[in-house]
Structure 1
Amino acid sequence: MSLDLKNMMMTAQRAVIESRALLLDYFGKLKRVDQKVRAGLVSEADIESEKLITKILSAEFPNHKILGEEASYAKGKIEKPKSDQPLWVIDPLDGTTNYVHGFSIFCISIGLWYKEEAVLGVIDAPALDATYTAIKGQGAFKNGLPISVSSRSNLKDSLLATGFYTEDLPSLTEQIRVFSNLMSKTRGIRRAGAAAYDLCMVAEGIFDAFWEKSLSPWDVAAGGVIVKEAGGRVTDYQGAKFNIFDNNVLATNKHLHQTLVKEIGLK
C-alpha cells in the first residue's frame, strides 16, 4: 500500500484546527470532569475532541484503523492493527489535568503508525498558538518554520524533562531515584504534564531530552516522528528501536542519548 502522506497531513491538520477551536471554547468553562480507572482525568472536552477528530479521519480514510485514548479506555484495552494497516493514533487532549486547572500547556496529538514506525505527526498546543508537524523524511516544523534539536553534548549543561506515573509505588520510587540522580548532573529538569508537548520541546531544541515510563501509544506516536525529523533520537530506555506500544520512551538531541541510556536504562 502506498500512502499519500501529503494528503494525510492536510486532513490531520484540518482535524487539529477544528479540535483546537472546540478545546479553546471549553477552556475555563468545563461542567463535567470524571476520574479514569487509571490515574488521570477525562473531561467532556476530551470526549468531544476525540469524536470530532475520529469523524474527520474516518470520513477521509474509511479503511484505516483509529486508536483513540478515550475510546480505548472505554473498551478497556488497546487494539494493535496488522503491521501493513495504517493506524491513526489520537490523543484528543494531552494534559487534561493542566487543562482542567486552567494551565495553558495542553495539546492535541495525531500520529500515523504504519509498518511498525511513525510516519506522520501533528501536535497542536491551542493556548500557545503552536502547531508542530512532521512527515517521515521531510523534516520537522513549528507553525510552518523548520525546527531542529539542540547541539548540547554535556549533560551538566542540559535541560531535561520527564513525567511520573503515580499508580505503581515501586515504579514511582525508581522514577524518583533516577530524577534525583539526574538533578545533580544537569542544569535542571522540568515536568510540564503533557508528554506530547515535552517531545515538541525536544524537537525545538528547548529541552535536550525527555524520558518517561508507563506511557501509551497516543502519548508518543506524533511526538516521536517530530523529534526524529528534527534530528533527534527516540528509543526505549535501553536504546532499542522506538515502538509506540512500548511503555517507556527516551527522546534526545542524539548527542546525549548514550549517556542517558546509561543513567536511565532499567537494570
Structure 2
Amino acid sequence: MIHSIPAEFPLDEVQKRMQFLLGVLPAIGENIVEYQKEVVANRNALPFKEILANVDEHAERPILHALTGSFPDDRFSSELAGDQGEDSDFHWWIDALDGSRNYIHGNPLYCISVGLTFREHPVAGVVYVPTFKETYRAIFGDGSFKNDHPIEASGTASLDTALVASGLPYQRRGIITELIGDMSAILSAGAGLRKTGSAVLDLCWIAEGRFDGMWERNVHPWDTCAASVILREAGGRLSDFQGRIYDVSTGDVVASNGLLHNDILNILKQVREVDGIN
C-alpha cells in the first residue's frame, strides 16, 4: 500500500460514515438498475441532454438525501447539485452515476462513486457497481477491498504486455489532436488500449489488476476522490500529467499499478514536447 499524504483523522468517525454508506447503496443501486429499463425504452423521446439531466438527478437525489440527513454538519459536493453545507472537516464528493452515456444506452458499465476527505485529504471511498452488485471500498491505511475481499494492483512491469485505459472528455473538440496523439503513442509502445466509458471504473479496475494503467483529461473531484483511496490502498499510484501527487483539485490524471507509472508519464510528456504543449 502506498500512503502518499500522511493524514491524521478520526478513524471512528470515518468508519461510521462508511458503514452508513455501505448500508444504503445497494437499495439505491437496485433502483438505478430498474430505472435504466425505462430510460432505455424511451431514450429517443427527449433530447439527449434532457435525458442525461433526468438520469443524473434520479441517481443523485436519494444519495444526497441519505447523507445530508444523517451527517448534516458535513459538506457535500456533487456533479449535479454542486456544493452544499458550510465549511467542515468532512467533505463528501459524490458522482451518483459515472458512465451516464453507457447507462442511457443500456450498457452495464456504470457506477456510483462516493469519496470522503478530511481537511481536504482523501481518506475513504466507496464505489458501487449496481449491475454486478460489486462494492469497492477503502479507508486510508486499511487496505482496499472488493466485496470484502482484499484487492491489489497488478504486477505488470512492461507496457507491451499491459492493458491501459483512457476516456474522452465531453468537451474535447479543442483537444482532439492531443487525445489522438496520446492514444497513438500508447499504442505504439505496445499496450492494449481500452475504453469503458467510466473513469471511476477504470481506476477501480487498476486497483484489482484488470487494467494496468490509465490516463484521462478534465476529470472532476467527484470522479476521482473515492477511487483515489481505493487505488492507493491497493498499491497503485495516481498523479497529474507532470507526476505530481494527486489531490482533489487534480484535473488531468495518470493512474497505474505503480510499476508502469513513469513509462506512461514519459510517453505523454514526449507527445506534448513534439506538439509544443506544456
2:161 alignment counterpart:
157
1:247 deviates by 1.1
Q: Compute the TM-score of the two structures, normalised by the length of structure 2.
A: 0.86
Q: Partner of 1:87: helix, strand, or coil?
A: strand
1:165·1:172 contact (CA, 8 Å) conserved in 2?
Answer: no
Q: Secondary structure at the match of 2:37?
A: coil
1:44 paired residue number: 54
Q: Would you say 1:58 and 2:62 are equivalent positions?
A: no
TM-aligned CA distance change 1:156 to 1:144, over 3 Å: same
C-alpha deviation, 1:50, in angstroms: 1.0
State the 1:172 CA deviation: 2.1
Quick check: 1:28–1:100 contact (8 Å CA) kept in 2? no
1:117 equivalent to 2:121? Answer yes
Q: Which has the larger radius of gyration?
A: 2
What per-residue deviation string (whole Å, max 9, x for no partner) do you get for residues 176-221 of structure 1?
1010111121331100000110001000101000110011111111
Q: What percent identity do the matched residue pairs reach? A: 34
Kindly provide the CA deviation profile for residues 53-74 of structure 1, in whole angstroms up to 9, marking residues without a partner as x. Answer: 11111122111011111113xx
Using the TM superposition, give the Cα deviation of residue 251 of structure 1 relative to its aligned residue in structure 2, in angstroms.
1.0
The structure carrying a bigger helix percent of its residues is: 2
Matched residue SS, 2:190: coil
Partner AA of 1:52 in structure 2: P
Partner of 1:13: 22
Over the aligned positions, Cα root-mean-square deviation in angstroms equals 2.1
Who is 1:203 aligned against?
207
Q: Could you say what secondary structure the match of 1:239 adopts?
A: coil
Alpha-carbon distance in 2 for matches of 1:121, 1:156? 31
Structure 2 contact 204–230 (Cα < 8 Å) conserved: yes
Instruction: Determine the C-alpha separation between the residues in 2 that align with 1:127 and 1:146.
Output: 21
Aligned structure 1 segments of 4 or more residues deviating by more than 6 angstroms: 78-81
Given the alignment of the two structures, is residue 2 of structure 1 paired with residue 6 of structure 2, yes or no? no
Asked if the contact 2:74–2:89 (Cα under 8 Å) also holds between the matched residues in 1, the reply is yes
CA distance in structure 2 between the aligned counterparts of 1:102 and 1:35, rounded to whole angstroms:
14
Deviation at 1:166, TM superposition (A): 4.6
Tell which deviates more after alignment, 101-110 or 183-192. Answer: 183-192
Q: Quick one: structure 1 residues 223 and 101, their matched pair in 2 at CA, closer, same or farther if it must change by over 3 Å?
A: same
Quick check: 1:23 aligned with 2:27?
no
Query: Does 2:78 align with 1:68?
Result: yes
Q: Deviations over 1:74-95 (max 9, x none)?
A: xxxx68985x621111111110
Among 202, 217, 232, the alignment partner of 1:213 is 217
Match among 241, 253, 257 for residue 257 of structure 2:
253
Cα distance in 2 between the residues matched to 1:149 and 1:134: 14
- Structure 2 CA distance for partners of 1:46 and 1:240, relative to 1, 3 Å: same
1:179 maps to 2:172: no
Alignment gaps of 5+ in structure 1? 73-77
Kindly state the Cα deviation for residue 52 of structure 1 after the two structures are TM-superposed: 0.6
In structure 1, C-alpha distance between the alignment counterparts of 2:226 and 2:49, rounded to whole Å = 23
The one-letter code matched in structure 1 to 2:113 is: S
Q: CA deviation at 1:255?
A: 0.5
Checking the alignment, whether the CA contact within 8 Å between 1:91 and 1:109 is kept in structure 2 is yes
Contact 1:19 1:108 in 2 (8 A): no
- Contact 1:159/1:186 (8 A) holds in 2: no
Kindly state the Cα deviation for residue 45 of structure 1 after the two structures are TM-superposed: 3.4
* Secondary structure of 1:88's aligned partner: strand
TM-score by length of 1: 0.90
